Amino acid sequence: MLRGKWSRSRVIAAVLAILVIVFVVLTVVLFVKPDLNAPERVDAVVVLGGPNNNVPHEGVRLVEQGYAPTVAFSLAPGVPCVGAAVKQVDPAAKTICFYAEPQSTQGEARSIKRLAAIHGWKRIIVVMPIPQASRARLRIGRCYSGQVLEVGVEPEGFWDWVRGIIYEWGAEFKALVLQPTC
């Protein structure tokens, strides 16, 4: 039995408050303000697939600004390659479109490993929505031994942030616990 100022309900409230604070801090560090990189010259820009329409545009912009001679787009089934858009911006740029198997960040990481081996990429920029950055770093790092710079794109609105963060908590658990390999 607890005596003095610390009753059982106060201890429970304190523990719950600490858990909420830890959850909020982890959410911010992992999904809202992850450690991202400034773009630098690389062998290729790889654009991860997903619902954010601004992610492919950022990949094209990076090629246009001369950060890489190649841009690779991960596409969902039925989505056409955007190679023509890249050629309009930089006629010398090489465009690669691929369909990850499985259609997930894990599949994209495996595809990056394969494409890097084929094309000799030692250093890449990966473009993805900001909430996905921590998981993408984990997944790609398990498969690809080259240097990865991450450039994040903000979700398109408040509810996209909320959906992304909720999704990422489950996906991060899956990547850490259920699928710990490439």
Nearest partner of 141 among 128, 156, 124, 129, judged by Cα? 124
When pLDDT is averaged across residues 130-134 and rounded to a whole number, the result is 96
Nearest partner of 99 among 71, 119, 76, judged by Cα? 76
The predicted pLDDT at position 81 comes to: 84
3-state secondary structure of 147: strand
3-state secondary structure of 94: strand
3 has a pLDDT exceeding 60 = no
3-state secondary structure of 8: helix
The predicted pLDDT at position 84 comes to: 67
End-to-end CA distance of the chain: 49
**Which residues, including other chains, have CB under 8 Å from residue 72's CB and lie 6 or more apart?**
44, 45, 46, 47, 95, 96, 97, 98, 112, 115
Proportion of the chain above pLDDT 70, given as a percent: 95
Mean pLDDT of the chain: 91
pTM: 0.89
Dihedrals φ, ψ of 123, to 5°? -150, 125
123: left (phi over 0), alpha (psi -120 to 50) or beta: beta
CB 131 within 8 A of CB 160: no
3-state secondary structure of 74: strand
Report the distance separating Cα 61 and Cα 125, nearest Å.
12
Residue 129, H or E segment: strand 123-129
When pLDDT is averaged across residues 49-77 and rounded to a whole number, the result is 88
